[in-house]
Each structure stands twice: as structure tokens, then as C-alpha cells.
């Protein structure tokens, strides 16, 4: 609290020692992480191999700008739990250098493209980096479509869905697509979390309701779901829903929980009328999987 870092070398040793007392290690992590001690970076990266500290370490590493962070997260990504993968992607989409490394990994299929949700793609496009935008477009296609193109696509997919023999398409497979693409932001029954609008019972509105909102997500955005993007003085970009604000800090809800950012650390802050969900989401799925997802959604 008073800037005395004389105990930090001892705390780093304790934190890195897997045989040390668990409470002592937790205390060391709390002190070093609160101080954002740069000299502890290698120790924090080493915690990615420790299940007891992996998740908080992934979240903490978003505050640092070092190639070792993205290299380690990408290298170990496939072995992470779903929660750890989500946290890793949030960290990797929070800085342009990490995002470029992530997109290289997606391009080489080191990380499957389907692991990135709509929220992650929107976070990537929020970075305002030309190289990141170029790579996103090469992987997902143009994110922007004209109103006429969107309407044509809505009409075409509505016709395809209505004429499809739905008995031949699996709603269970559709549920899997929902869990991969939508659950990080939307709640449907007992699935997911409410970062975006609640979907429980929305199936009664029919397939066009979903097509209009997925293909043209920015058409109508409620004020409760407008995206706030913060760039910190350490070049970290955090996007989410503003859920609380005090004189000294703001709280953003993201896919991995709530993030409190001190106002003194904020370099810029913008509120967008764009949806958290990017355009082009359905293009991430082959034609059959699009029908399966729509069947699952309209059946709930």
C-alpha cells in the first residue's frame, strides 16, 4: 500500500513454491497482483501450470504487455477448462499484440475458430487496430454488410429454414452450437449468463426474430446493453456492460465476470450504440449447423 517492495522477492519465492503453505501462497499472490509487480511476470506466467492459481493468473496477465503471456496462453489453450478458455480469450483479445498472436493461432487452427464467441470478435474489432481488423475479416469475412444485403440474407435464411425438413435436423446439436457461440452472453433457461438480452421464451417470436437480431444486431440496441469500452493507461482494452459507477471507479460486466477499473487508470472511455454481438455470427457455422441452431432457439 505504501510502495515498499522489499518483501517482494520473498513473496515471489513463496508463490512459485508449490510445496509452500497454501494460505501463504494466496497471500503472496494477492500482494503481488495488487501491486502489478512487473518483476513477478515470469512467476505469474509459471502459475498457468498450477491448477490452483491458473484462472486468477490468466485474468491477471491481461494487465501486462509481454509476448510471453500470449505465447503461454496459446501454447496451453487446448488443455484448459471451458472457464479457463473463456478467460484466456478475454485476455488475448484485450491488447492488439495479443490479438494478432491469437488470430495467427486461429488461422493455423492451433486454436479452433469456433472457440471465439461473438463477444470475442466484437472485442477484437474494438481494438481499432488495422492489422487485427484485416485478420478478423480474413477469418470471418466482412463484418459490415449494407442494409439491403442484410435484408436479403434474412429473407433467404427465413425461407431456407421454413422449407427445411426440420425433423432431419438435431436440436441437441443446436444446443451445442448455442453453448459455443451464444451462451457466454445470453441466458436461455438454465444455460448461459445475461450479458446480452434474455432469450428464455423468445422462441415464440419465430425464426425471423432471431434472424433479424443476429444478422443485423445493431438495428435496435437497448440502453441496458450498450457496449462500454475502456482503454487503460497500460494499453489494455476492456469491453462490457457498465453495471456500476462511483466517483473513483467503474465496474464492467464481461464474459468472465465483473471487472473494476479505477478512473485514475483510464486513458479513454467510449460508449457505443453497437450491440455486443458482431455481424456475421452465423457465418461461423456451416449451413446445416445454422439450421440446427435456429431449430434449438425457436423450440425454446
Q: What does the pLDDT look like over 228-239, one tens digit per residue?
A: 889 998 888 888
Burial category of 174 from C-beta neighbours within 10 Å (exposed 0-12, middle 13-18, buried 19 and up): buried
The set of cell numbers assigned to 252 is 464492467
d(CA 175, CA 252): 28
- 224, 215 Cβ separation under 8 angstroms: no
3-class secondary-structure state, position 220: coil
d(CA 75, CA 105): 9
Residue 80: pLDDT band (50, 70, 90) is very high
State pLDDT tens for residues 117-164: 767 887 888 888 999 989 988 887 666 556 777 788 888 899 999 999
The beta strands (E) that lie in 130-226 are given as 187-188, 191-192
How close are the terminal C-alpha atoms of the chain, in Å?
Answer: 51
The set of cell numbers assigned to 143 is 463484418
pLDDT at 1 over 70: no
With b meaning 16 or more CB within 10 Å and e meaning fewer, what string describes 118-151? bbbbbbbbbbebeebeebbeeebeebebeeeebe
Residue 55: pLDDT band (50, 70, 90) is very high
pLDDT at 255 over 80: no
State pLDDT tens for residues 178-190: 988 888 788 888 8
**Considering the entire predicted model, what is its pTM?**
0.60
Amino acid at each position: 500500500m505504501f510502495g515498499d517492495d522489499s518483501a517482494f522477492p520473498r513473496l515471489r519465492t513463496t508463490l512459485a513454491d508449490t510445496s509452500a503453505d497454501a494460505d501463504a501462497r494466496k497471500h503472496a499472490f494477492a500482494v503481488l497482483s495488487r501491486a502489478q509487480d512487473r518483476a513477478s511476470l515470469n512467476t505469474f506466467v509459471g502459475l498457468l501450470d498450477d491448477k490452483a492459481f491458473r484462472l486468477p493468473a490468466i485474468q491477471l496477465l491481461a494487465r501486462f504487455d509481454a509476448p510471453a503471456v500470449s505465447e503461454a496462453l496459446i501454447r496451453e489453450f487446448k488443455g484448459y477448462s471451458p472457464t479457463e478458455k473463456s478467460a484466456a480469450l478475454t485476455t488475448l483479445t484485450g491488447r492488439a499484440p495479443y490479438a494478432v498472436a491469437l488470430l495467427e493461432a486461429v488461422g493455423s487452427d492451433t486454436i479452433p475458430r469456433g472457440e471465439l464467441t461473438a463477444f470475442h470478435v466484437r472485442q477484437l474489432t474494438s481494438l481499432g487496430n488495422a492489422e487485427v481488423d484485416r485478420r478478423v475479416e480474413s477469418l470471418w469475412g466482412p463484418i459490415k454488410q449494407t442494409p439491403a444485403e442484410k435484408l436479403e440474407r434474412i429473407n433467404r435464411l427465413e425461407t431456407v429454414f421454413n422449407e427445411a425438413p426440420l425433423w432431419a435436423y438435431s436440436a441437441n446439436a443446436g444446443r451445442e452450437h448455442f453453448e459455443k457461440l451464444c451462451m457466454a452472453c445470453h441466458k436461455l433457461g438454465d444455460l448461459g449468463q445475461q450479458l446480452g438480452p434474455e432469450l428464455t421464451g423468445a422462441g415464440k417470436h419465430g425464426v425471423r426474430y432471431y434472424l433479424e437480431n443476429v444478422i443485423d444486431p445493431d438495428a435496435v440496441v437497448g440502453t441496458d446493453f450498450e457496449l462500454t469500452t475502456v482503454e487503460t493507461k497500460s494499453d489494455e482494452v476492456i469491453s462490457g456492460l457498465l453495471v456500476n459507477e462511483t466517483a473513483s471507479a467503474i465496474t464492467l460486466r464481461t464474459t468472465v465476470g465483473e471487472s473494476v477499473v479505477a478512473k485514475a487508470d483510464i486513458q479513454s472511455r467510449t460508449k457505443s450504440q453497437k450491440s455486443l454481438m458482431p455481424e456475421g455470427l452465423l457465418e461461423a457455422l456451416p449451413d446445416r449447423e445454422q439450421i440446427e441452431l435456429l431449430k434449438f432457439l425457436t423450440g425454446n
